[in-house]
A and B are shown apart, each in its own frame.
Chain A
Amino acid sequence: MSRLLPLIGFLLLVGLFGFGIWWNTQHDQREIASPLIDKPAPAFALPVLGEPSRTVDKASLLGKPYFLNVFASWCIECVHEHPMLMTDMKRLGLPIVGFNYKDEPEAAMAWLSEHGDPFDVIVADRDGRAGIDFGVYAAPETFLIDAKGVIRYKRIGPITPEVIEKEIRPALAALAKEAP
Chain B
Amino acid sequence: MIRRALLWLALCLLPVVAYTQAIQPLPFHDRAEEVRFQKLTSELRCPMCQNETLADSNAPIAHDLRRQVFEMIQAGKSDDEIKTYLVDRYSQFVLYKPPVEPSTWLLWFGPLALLAAGAVVVAVQVRRRARQNPTVGTPANDTEDDW
Contact = CB atoms under 8 A, between A and B. Distances in A.
> What does DSSP make chain B's interface, helix, strand, loop or mixed?
helix
B104 interface: no
B89 interface: yes
A82 to B, nearest CB: 21
Nearest to A35: B91
Contacts of B61: 128, 136-138
A176 interface: no
Interface residues of A, number: 21
Nearest to A131: B64
Interface string B48-83: 101000000000110011001000000000000000
Contacts of B90: 32, 35, 135, 137
A1 to B, nearest CB: 10
B114 to A, nearest CB: 12
B91 A132 contact: no
Interface in B84-98: 87-91, 93
Most buried by A among B64, B89, B146: B89
A132 B146 contact: no
Contacts of A128: 60-61, 64
A132 B65 CA distance: 8
Interface in A71-120: 102
A166 interface: no
A60 interface: no
Contacts of B60: 102, 128
B50 A30 contact: yes
B41 to A, nearest CB: 15
A70 to B, nearest CB: 12
B47 A35 contact: no
Contacts of B89: 35-36, 132-135
A34 B64 contact: no
A32 B91 contact: yes
Contacts of A133: 89
Contacts of B91: 32-35, 135
Nearest to A29: B50
Contacts of A35: 87-91
Interface string A150-168: 0000000000000000000
Interface of B: 47-48, 50, 60-61, 64-65, 68, 87-91, 93, 146
8 contacts: A29-B50, A32-B47, A35-B87, A35-B89, A36-B89, A128-B60, A132-B89, A138-B47
Interface of A: 2-3, 29-30, 32-36, 102, 127-129, 131-138
Which 8 pairs, one residue from A and one from B, show the smallest C-beta to C-beta distance? A137-B47, A135-B89, A35-B91, A137-B61, A128-B64, A32-B93, A137-B48, A135-B90
Given A30-B50, A138-B48, 12 more contacts: A29-B50, A32-B91, A35-B87, A35-B88, A36-B89, A102-B64, A127-B64, A128-B60, A128-B61, A131-B64, A133-B89, A138-B47
